[in-house]
Amino acid sequence: MTSLWSLLMNPLLSVKPYSDDDNERGGIDVLWILTIFFGLGIWLVVQRYHRAHNSPLPFEINAPVPADPGWKGRPLENAHIRLHEEEPELLSHMAIPGQRYITSFDPATGMHLGTYIADSQDDIRKKIKRSKKAQAESWRYTNFTQRRRVIRSLMKWLVDNQDTCARVACRDTGKTLIDAALGEILTTCSKMEWLLEHGEKYLRPETRSTNFMLSYKKSQVHYEPLGVVAGIVSWNYPLHNAWSPILAAIFAGNGVILKCSENVIWSTTFFVGAIQECLNACGHDPSLVQVVCCYPEEAVALTSSPDIRHITFIGSETVGRKIAEAATKNLIPVTMELGGKDPAIILPGTDLNKWCGLWMRGVFQNMGQNCIGIERLIVHQDQYDELQEMLAKKIEKLRPGSVLAPTAEGYVNTIDCGAMISKDRFQALEQMLVDATEAGANLIGGTHYEPRQSTLTNGFYFTPTLVGPVYEGMDIANEELFAPIATLMPYENIDQAIEIANGTKYGLGASVFGPDQKLCVEVAKELECGMVSVNDFGVFYVNQDLPFGGTKASGYGRFGGPEGLRSLTNPKVIIVDRWPSLIQTTIPKVLDYPIRSLYYSWEFTSNLIRFLYADSFRTRLRGLVKLIQAARKN
């Protein structure tokens, strides 16, 4: 035993201090050195194992040529997605007779990006089957290490190629590079970071508490993949709106069908293509993820398919109602984000200079085409004039244009505001603004913008606008604008400000600004919405641990956070015996079929309930005694 102890403690015992008796200096023996190298070897093996299974894998996908700022495509006048029907030369010489197509173009310049085949209902069904096969045969059996590696590889690729991805998003939507960086890349990286660090925690089997009666049982919830899920998303953020539902779906073990907007088929094909390339590089079937782009009437093949187990929809209220109706055919659960009319309540005494820049970003980011953009600035009447003057000075300096439009000098344009996705709503917006001015509001801007640069004449631009005072009865105060329009709404007291904020049918996000944070929180609690930022704008979406969604006409359900991730799974309950060899459930004779005595069976049952749930110890004890008596007499 002494020898064994000496061997175990050798690295410590072998280090001998200086000895006065024998005048010898201690030394380090060989076993001590070997122990260090052995421990180092184990550490290196572990590190190599982790690198082999967790390090991101490289993959390549060629950047589309039109993403180059110097690219010059064919300019289209009055461009729209069906322009090929008017100008057949936009079709390839290999166009299929009877096949439907979609014309893709840059809304900032009108330049032709390509003409794509629109999926038919039969095409959609085939894509669902391919995803279902890949999910059922292999992906559902992957572990979290394998799934994290895919996410980690995508994150590295996105960070390394953010310039290309931002330019692709700009080319297809007309937004600015800064809007792409903030709304597309930053938020998507935040999503991936959360999945990598916390996703497994919320999908692992979870042990739940039990009660006294079932104390001999162990209860767990297992979060199993659903199968194939669908994401039907809007055009305003083609990278993030595509990647976000796909990332959550595949991390939960599902296959996914992404139905993109017809307006952004060019960029979505590239962005989802990157995910498919990543899956392939990581050794998985890329057909797990499918892109569908079709005309609205064909989408029923997706929304009513018995193979689709969940739908996430981001878009308008009108389309959302149609999707929900179609999904009822096979009882498909739907998560809906239907836009909003987000208010920013500015409490009395707020430092306007401090927050003015944030309000400008909240209103004009992505040209107001932002579901959680600030649509109503609700300000106390004592500060109304000051805020109006402050915003007017800033708005008049905003520079619309295209960051990718070619210039004679060869530099990239510095602009503040990009293009709108189309001009279809310009007339309605202008009419609402005219109505507001006729009701007494002052107006800056408020019409379509005609750029001087010749390359932008076919683009869709709307002048950055300020309108106010706006009151509750006006259409502009109640309809979602989705445009670069700042509306100022004065109030007399805080109760009225809350009433104005809650006065629309929408309830997505909101923000409250003021010098007293405690008061801001009290106001936030009174707002009818899904999310509120205090002294900030939209930050509840940057924190991907939070559920995202709204109430009222802004939709139902949540994506993002544990709630969103778990909604893409089947929460299966499994309950087992803690000590199966000692105790298991049996039916007492007094309750066994056929019932021998109704009297004693009732006595047993009622006293069991009394013993378990009575509000006093004495009553419980009396219930236990009668329970035993009833069991014996039977």
Q: Catalytic amino acids? A: 337, 371
Residue 205 CB coordination number (10 Å): 11
Q: What is the side-by-side order of every strand in the sheet holding 334-337?
A: 289-292, 255-259, 228-232, 308-314, 334-337, 555-556
Give 343's strand partners.
376
| 3-class DSSP string for 360-425 | HHHHHHHHHCCCCCCCEEEEEHHHHHHHHHHHHHHHCCCCECCCCCCCCCCCCCCCCECCCCCCCC
What gap in Å lies between CA 330 and CA 347, rounded to an integer? 48
| DSSP line for 227-295 | SEEEEE--SSSHHHHHHHHHHHHHHTT-EEEEE--GGGHHHHHHHHHHHHHHHHHTTS-GGGEEEE---
Spatial separation of the C-alpha atoms in residues 568 and 574, rounded to whole Å: 19
For the residues of 314-359, what is the DSSP string, one character each? ES-HHHHHHHHHHHGGGT--EEEE-----EEEE-TT--HHHHHHHH
Distance CA 405, CA 413 (A): 7
* Rounded distance between C-alpha atoms, residue 221 and residue 203, angstroms: 9
Going 507 to 377 to 107 to 541, the CA torsion angle's sign is negative
- CB-count exposure of residue 409 (10 Å: 0-12, 13-18, 19+): exposed
CB-based burial label for 443 (10 Å; 0-12, 13-18, 19+): middle
Phi, psi dihedral angles at 386 (to 5 degrees): -65, -45
- Euclidean distance between the first and final Cα of the chain, in Å? 63
Greatest Cα pair distance in the chain: 107
Element (H, E) at 176: none
CB 205 within 8 A of CB 551: no
Peptide bond into 64 cis (omega under 30): no
Contact call for residues 240 and 187 (beta carbons, < 8 A): yes
Looking up tokens 């919320």 gives 202
| DSSP H or E run through 598 | helix 598-613
CA distances 514 to 121, 351, 383, Å, are 52, 8, 12
Q: What are phi and psi of 305, to 5 degrees?
A: -70, 135
DSSP letter (8 states) at residue 551? S
In angstroms, the Cα distances linking 396 to 66, 460, 481 are 31, 19, 20
